[in-house]
């Protein structure tokens, strides 16, 4: 490959000839900031780009790098799998053991199935709910992201004219009529939810949601909303699915289902789970999970289901996060960061609401209070947000051009201090 000189710009031009948009995932194109960033390597809390710049990473791989980049124990787990021939498409002793660890940690887990991506995981969870209930419709909330499968890719981040009550596809390509199987509601509107379930409950297979909507501003359920949702779905025999692909392991090893004290029927986890390796899972109550083949009729099979390097990485991830001081340290550093940002914002007189739960946070420029739904959070000032990210990167702090950010367990107190200095400098520039 000859692409000298290796600048971001030259690599972008080179890659654009063979990768649509120069990237392998659309989100990496960084449209708002003028193009993708090409990295040379990651190490712990740091990223190094191909032009030799070093950044403190506050993106952490869309949240996948909760342990930081290249965690030594994850590397050892992968090395072990190499010794075992990188087995793929075989079950090993480790598969059941890792599933058992998850069953022990997650309140909603009687059984687990491993998958690769989040998009695929929510697809299977919905499919399973349909077969179990014999119903077709799925209710989701506006602003909640569940990956780009045809069943669920509606009203993630609609423009004002496409918002609720419209049901709007996020991307073309699904067969016409797919939208008839989806009901979209604004989050946190209990009256509307009750009305909808009263009128259409008998047709609804599942309600799926991000228990905390990190993908559109870190929006938390209003007091009582989740409990009411749990009660109403149980009354109507509707499967309640927590999509914890992103929220999983941000607050503790029991995920949000433990943190919020509400147990779903099915859940999806991913991202952080693999310590940087591509693995996700769905799980839930035994009587539902028993409908997965070969016990039941819902086929779930695949060559790359749970390859050994990923399974051993999950095993190690779970070992690391259940070490006694893991969450104390991580959450202490989170508090340091969020407190420091709040202090900077106040001192510089910048309108920016920091919405944070556990190891993930949102910066909502232009907002002065916690949003309760996407209609409110989407009023954030995107132009200022992008200017801030751009400026922060010039000060050595890597923010991804998106909604949510976070630190990893590899971020030290010194990293947080440096991050705050960069954030302050960037805030000063945009003030």
Question: Which residue bears the tokens 């979209």?
Answer: 184
Q: Which residues bind ligand PLP (CB under 6 A)?
A: 62, 117-119, 122, 145-147, 210, 215, 243, 245-246, 270
Supply the Cα-derived Rg of the chain in whole angstroms: 21
Question: Which residue bears the tokens 């109507």?
Answer: 236
Looking at the Cβ atoms of 108 and 147, the one nearer to ligand PLP is: 147
Looking at the Cβ atoms of 215 and 391, the one nearer to ligand PLP is: 215
Query: Shortest distance, CB of residue 404 to ligand PLP, whole angstroms?
Result: 8
Query: Shortest distance, CB of residue 74 to ligand PLP, whole angstroms?
Result: 18
Tell me whether strands 46-49 and 39-43 are parallel, antiparallel or unpaired.
antiparallel
- Residue nearest to ligand PLP as judged by C-beta position: 118
Looking at the Cβ atoms of 145 and 327, the one nearer to ligand PLP is: 145
Query: Shortest distance, CB of residue 361 to ligand PLP, whole angstroms?
Result: 14
Looking at the Cβ atoms of 122 and 316, the one nearer to ligand PLP is: 122
Looking at the Cβ atoms of 268 and 420, the one nearer to ligand PLP is: 268
Q: How many CA atoms lie within 13 A of 178 on its CB side?
A: 15
Residue 116 sits at the vertex; the CA angle it makes with 110 and 122, to the nearest 5 degrees, is 60
Specify burial of residue 336 (Cβ count, 10 A radius: 0-12, 13-18, 19+). Answer: middle
Query: Shortest distance, CB of residue 117 to ligand PLP, whole angstroms?
Result: 4
Looking at the Cβ atoms of 206 and 245, the one nearer to ligand PLP is: 245
Query: Shortest distance, CB of residue 72 to ligand PLP, whole angstroms?
Result: 24
Q: What is the CA 9 to chain-centroid distance, rounded?
A: 29
Question: Which residue bears the tokens 């890719």?
Answer: 153
Please tell me the distance from the alpha carbon of residue 382 to that of residue 265, in angstroms, as a whole number: 36
Please tell me the distance from the alpha carbon of residue 155 to that of residue 175, in angstroms, as a whole number: 17
Query: Shortest distance, CB of residue 270 to ligand PLP, whole angstroms?
Result: 5
């Amino acid at each position: 490959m000859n692409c000298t000189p290796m600048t971001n710009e030259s690599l972008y031009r080179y890659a654009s000839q063979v990768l649509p948009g120069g990237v392998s995932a659309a989100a990496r194109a960084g449209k708002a900031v003028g193009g993708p960033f090409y990295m040379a390597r990651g190490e712990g809390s740091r990223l190094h780009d191909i032009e030799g710049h070093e950044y403190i990473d506050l993106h952490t791989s869309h949240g996948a790098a909760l342990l930081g980049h290249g965690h030594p124990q994850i590397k050892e787990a992968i090395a072990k799998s190499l010794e075992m021939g990188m087995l793929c498409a075989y079950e090993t002793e480790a598969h059941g053991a890792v599933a058992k660890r998850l069953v022990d940690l997650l309140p909603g887990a009687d059984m687990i199935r491993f998958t690769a991506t989040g998009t695929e995981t929510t697809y299977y969870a919905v499919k399973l709910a349909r077969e179990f209930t014999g119903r077709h419709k799925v209710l989701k909330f506006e602003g909640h992201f569940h990956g780009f499968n045809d069943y669920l890719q509606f009203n993630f981040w609609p423009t004002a004219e496409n918002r609720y009550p419209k049901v709007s596809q996020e991307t073309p390509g699904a067969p016409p009529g797919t939208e008839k199987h989806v009901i979209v509601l604004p989050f946190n509107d209990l009256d509307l939810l009750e009305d909808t379930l009263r009128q259409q409950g008998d047709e609804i297979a599942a309600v799926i949601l991000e228990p905390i909507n990190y993908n559109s501003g870190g929006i938390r359920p209003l007091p009582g909303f989740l409990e009411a949702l749990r009660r109403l779905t149980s009354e109507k025999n509707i499967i309640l699915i927590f999509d914890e692909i992103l929220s999983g392991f941000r607050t503790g090893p029991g995920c949000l289902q433990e943190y919020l004290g509400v147990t779903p029927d099915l859940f999806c986890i991913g991202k952080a789970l693999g310590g940087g390796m591509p693995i996700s899972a769905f799980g839930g109550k035994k009587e539902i999970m028993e409908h997965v083949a070969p016990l039941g009729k819902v086929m779930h099979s695949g060559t790359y289901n749970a390859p050994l390097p990923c399974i051993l990485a999950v095993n190690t991830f779970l070992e690391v996060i259940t070490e006694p001081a893991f969450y104390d340290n991580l959450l202490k550093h989170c508090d340091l960061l969020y407190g420091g940002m709040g202090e900077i914002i106040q001192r510089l007189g910048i309108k920016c609401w920091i919405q944070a739960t556990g190891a993930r946070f949102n910066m909502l420029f232009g907002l002065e209070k916690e949003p309760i739904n996407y209609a409110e959070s989407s009023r954030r000032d995107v132009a200022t947000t992008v200017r801030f990210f751009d400026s922060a990167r010039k000060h050595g702090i890597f923010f991804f051009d998106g909604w949510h950010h976070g630190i990893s367990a590899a971020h030290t107190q010194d990293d947080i201090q440096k991050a705050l200095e960069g954030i302050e400098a960037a805030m000063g520039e945009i003030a």
